[in-house]
Amino acid sequence: MGILVSADSKVVCAGITSSFGLYHTLRALDYGTKIIGGISKEIQKDSVRDVPVFKTIQEANRALRPDVCIIYSPVSSVYQDLKDAVEEEIPLIVCPTERIPVQDALKIKTLLKQSKSRLIGPASPGIITPAARCNAGTMPSSFFHPGKLGIMSRSSSLTYEAVHLLNTHNIGVSTCVAIGAYPLVGLSFTDCLALFQEDSETEGILMIGEIGGTQEQQTAELYKTLKNPKPLMAYIAGSSVPYRRYMGNISAIITTPEETAAAKKESLQKAGAFIIDNPARIGEQAFTFLSSTKTGKIK
């Protein structure tokens, strides 16, 4: 049922007593996410709404053995919390925290190569599987309805717009993963594509990319090698952005010809993906494209 998280996923939240962490933890609990523990170094509490609170990630992991750890920690402590979660080899780590120093992100990326952990983020609203009622992160759960379309995205705001437009055509979501908006992230588009390709509950895939980097081209290269690939649609933001001008975040900048929206769309189209040119037509064009494939209308 979807990828990476399920109804049985046990979740702990680092930074649970911060205003940011508490707000999203309570929302996730109300949604039905199985949050079994929290971590707070600053404010000592025994529990938050009957969820036990520990002083360290190590204590929480050894007592609860969670499947997912969400890092709501501030920039000042996020590196240490990420390091602890990776070294504890918690299977999935989600990091919504933004403005992490590049050196810290690079150190975490290196640690991940020696760990069994997977990281979504940093600067990611996380992951949601609507049918499982599991929301690990900050996504607005009321937007999402169960279905057969897998979504992987670099842009959180465009993700929510896309989901709203898909809802108008009764296209639901198996799992939505926001990989993060930084140059150095954990889970990549190619990782997500491979997972969605193997997921029995996913019948089609929507990728929301943007200028900067070459993740979209790497995804195109992988897609070409797949046997019986699932239908892939792609929208790439930033078609009118000039060279060396940031578009909202640190990784959305064009420094080479390969990083333009046009180059990314060309690679994906050659690989067999369906290109959506207008974000306002994501729902309409997704419906038309999926109706023309063997998957039919995805609900």
Q: 53-69 pLDDT, tens per residue?
A: 999 999 999 999 999 99
The three-state (H, E, C) secondary structure of 231-250, written as one string: CEEEEEECCCCCCCCCCCCC
Mean pLDDT value across the chain? 92
Just give the CATH number of 145-292.
3.40.50.261
Same fold, 11-120 and 145-292: yes
Give the Cα separation of 197 and 228 in Å (integer): 9
pTM above 0.75, yes or no: yes
Task: Output the pLDDT for position 261.
Answer: 87
Is it true that domain 11-120 has CATH number 3.40.640.10?
A: no
Q: How confident is the model at residue 244 (pLDDT cuts 50, 70, 90)?
A: low
Task: Output the pLDDT for position 44.
Answer: 79
Q: How confident is the model at residue 241 (pLDDT cuts 50, 70, 90)?
A: low
* Residue 201 tokens, joined: 């509950």
Q: Which residues lie across from 153 on neighbouring strands?
A: 178, 208
**Tokens 């509950």 found at:** 201
Q: List the Cα angle 77/80/81 in 5-degree steps.
A: 85
The three-state (H, E, C) secondary structure of 72-93, written as one string: CCCHHHHHHHHHHHHHCCCCEE
pLDDT digit string, tens, across residues 33-91:
999 999 998 777 888 899 999 999 999 999 999 999 999 999 999 999 999 999 999 99
**Tokens 């908006």 found at:** 181
Domain boundaries, the chain: 11-120, 145-292
Task: Output the pLDDT for position 174.
Answer: 97
Give the Cα separation of 72 and 76 in Å (integer): 11
